A and B are shown apart, each in its own frame.
Chain A
């Protein structure tokens, strides 16, 4: 399989750049999603952006899509933050209802159009191979914004994630921080959804971080590893789908192929992590709690 040749083509090169940027962005945010157990929240955000995309498109054509998605994403982020702080209804049930209801609004709006099926398909799978220069710039800007935000807030976020009560006790405004976190996820979704579609966004947010977590216990390593795995998955997935369609006459959706490559990478990482721990077990034995106590 040729890993470099396909990317001499301009559209493949743009797709690769988009996926590498997104891999880095989603890898970073994904570690927080993993540690805060926000997978379902992220999944909800990927779906609730849909009505925003549709309304934006109906109002202002292709240019409206980004802003519609942004409005819907931020709105859902606020809604989810508010719902999470209510105890009257279990959070996952509330998430499921927000997800399906808002997604249904999008489907209802789009189902009255003649190009129903192709619109929906584009939203679910994106068009990674037709990414424009402008979209690349949008993604890059969002990445810089989110990365900057997380860098500034990293200590507060870490304390809140590890010990919510302790964070509140030390004066951190947990509700506000949770809103920032949800907005960060929403921004990732908005930046990515047009190019890669909902399914790939959720995979990029969850799978690389989970793989990195399996490989390391140290946060300083987990974040760069997640970025690396996300970008690697994008590269290998694109190369594989290109190879299949050009040389083997097998059309494989690029977004879907990237997800499958990511899941395979996750499997490899889990195995590698298990092997590494088994090897390291001999060393770890020396300092088990039981021995500590008898000393």
Chain B
């Protein structure tokens, strides 16, 4: 426990409530993610997982309580935060090459009128290498498979050298090869000291990749070490009637 406290807090939620307009979407969230840790946001569709990610990015206002990112407000921290959207929200016809997408991760650091420097190019190339797609650098983004696109977007985030990485459902519809590559890249980022927040409804992945879990469905149903939180009782509470118990210690979720 003392060892954990030595690590700096990358994301602090203090009884935070998040709202669109006047109606709260998420209420009373409380917890801390430290550097080098990964937390999985788990909950059914419409639970507010994406909303929480947007709030951490400062795109949705916190109406009560506090969200602190890297010691400052979400909007102030954006330079050190990277966001990985779901690949299938992007236009597959867009005329942009894989390496250009990765270079987008460097845009904020390149400056307005300058061209990408040698450092920028190296970092982008290394990031692409890490997700195992160096050989596709010149291909058009849209010609890649869904899982490969997701890896390119992760490479873009890696190129930005973030201290906090946010991923929105990165494993949705992703093939096994890509899933493995994504998990490895995330593990390496953690080792290098980045904090990772990943929303998913795959409990197995939460077990594999994350140290902590945040169970969400409008409210927080638990936030803490994966093994302590992923209990049948808590899952049933989070998912309502859609969780089934198997042999006493396992749970399957019938509707996500």
Asked if A and B form a direct contact in the complex, defined as CB atoms under 8 angstroms apart, the reply is yes
Interface residues of A (CB under 8 A from B): 35, 152, 155-156, 158-159, 161-163, 165-166, 168-171, 213, 216-219, 222, 284, 287, 289, 292-293
- Minimal beta-carbon separation of A160 from chain B (angstroms): 11
Which residues of B sit under 8 angstroms from A161, Cβ to Cβ? 94
CB < 8 Å: which of A156, A171, A289 contacts B144? A289
Whether A292 contacts B139 by the Cβ 8 Å rule is no
Bound CA span A100–B135, Å = 51
Q: Which 7 A-B pairs have the closest CB atoms?
A: A289-B145, A169-B83, A171-B78, A169-B57, A217-B140, A155-B107, A217-B95
Interface residues of B (CB under 8 A from A): 57, 59, 75, 78-79, 81, 83, 85, 89-91, 94-97, 100-101, 104, 107-108, 110, 112-113, 135-136, 139-140, 143-145, 148, 156, 160, 166, 175, 177
Which residues of B sit under 8 angstroms from A292, Cβ to Cβ? 145, 148
Bound CA span A77–B14, Å = 41
Q: A155-B110, A169-B85 are in contact. List 14 more A-B contacts (CB 8 A).
A: A152-B113, A156-B107, A162-B94, A162-B101, A165-B85, A165-B89, A166-B104, A166-B156, A169-B81, A171-B108, A218-B97, A219-B96, A284-B143, A289-B144
- Minimal beta-carbon separation of A199 from chain B (angstroms): 27
Bound CA span A152–B111, Å = 10
| Chain A minimum-CB-distance residue to B136 | A287
Whether A222 contacts B95 by the Cβ 8 Å rule is yes
| Chain A minimum-CB-distance residue to B50 | A165
Whether B104 contacts A169 by the Cβ 8 Å rule is no
Bound CA span A162–B96, Å = 9
Bound CA span A152–B107, Å = 12
- Minimal beta-carbon separation of B110 from chain A (angstroms): 7
| Chain A minimum-CB-distance residue to B77 | A171
- Which label, helix, strand, loop or mixed, suits the secondary structure of the A interface? helix
* 8 A-B contact pairs sorted by A residue (CB < 8 Å): A169-B59, A170-B78, A222-B95, A287-B136, A287-B139, A289-B148, A293-B175, A293-B177
Bound CA span A243–B66, Å = 73
Bound CA span A165–B136, Å = 24
CB < 8 Å: which of A152, A170, A219, A289 contacts B95? A219
- Minimal beta-carbon separation of A58 from chain B (angstroms): 42
Which residues of A sit under 8 angstroms from B78, Cβ to Cβ? 169-171
| Chain A minimum-CB-distance residue to B146 | A289
Count of chain A to chain B residue pairs whose CB atoms are closer than 8 Å in the complex: 70
Given A155-B107, A162-B90, A163-B90, decide whether A170 and B96 contact each other with a Cβ distance below 8 A: no
Bound CA span A218–B78, Å = 30
- Minimal beta-carbon separation of B154 from chain A (angstroms): 12
- Minimal beta-carbon separation of A100 from chain B (angstroms): 29
Which residues of B sit under 8 angstroms from A162, Cβ to Cβ? 90-91, 94, 96, 101, 104
Given A168-B57, A216-B95, decide whether A159 and B145 contact each other with a Cβ distance below 8 A: no
Which residues of A sit under 8 angstroms from B112, Cβ to Cβ? 152
Bound CA span A175–B142, Å = 26
CB < 8 Å: which of B79, B85, B136, B144 contacts A163? B85
- Minimal beta-carbon separation of B196 from chain A (angstroms): 15
| Chain A minimum-CB-distance residue to B141 | A162
| Chain B minimum-CB-distance residue to A171 | B78
Bound CA span A100–B78, Å = 42
Bound CA span A293–B176, Å = 9
Whether A159 contacts B104 by the Cβ 8 Å rule is yes
| Chain A minimum-CB-distance residue to B175 | A293
A152, A213, A217 interface centre (most CB from chain B within 10 Å): A217
- Minimal beta-carbon separation of A75 from chain B (angstroms): 28
- Minimal beta-carbon separation of B207 from chain A (angstroms): 25
Bound CA span A293–B132, Å = 12
- Minimal beta-carbon separation of B139 from chain A (angstroms): 7
- Minimal beta-carbon separation of B115 from chain A (angstroms): 10
Which residues of A sit under 8 angstroms from B83, Cβ to Cβ? 165-166, 169-170
Whether A171 contacts B79 by the Cβ 8 Å rule is yes
Bound CA span A169–B139, Å = 26
Whether A166 contacts B85 by the Cβ 8 Å rule is yes
- Minimal beta-carbon separation of B11 from chain A (angstroms): 15
Bound CA span A218–B138, Å = 10
Whether B145 contacts A293 by the Cβ 8 Å rule is yes
Bound CA span A238–B2, Å = 80
Bound CA span A261–B203, Å = 59
Bound CA span A218–B98, Å = 11
- Minimal beta-carbon separation of B38 from chain A (angstroms): 19
| Chain B minimum-CB-distance residue to A284 | B143
- Minimal beta-carbon separation of A110 from chain B (angstroms): 41
| Chain B minimum-CB-distance residue to A293 | B177
| Chain A minimum-CB-distance residue to B145 | A289
Which residues of B sit under 8 angstroms from A168, Cβ to Cβ? 57, 59
Bound CA span A216–B101, Å = 17
| Chain B minimum-CB-distance residue to A31 | B95
Bound CA span A165–B58, Å = 12
Bound CA span A158–B103, Å = 12
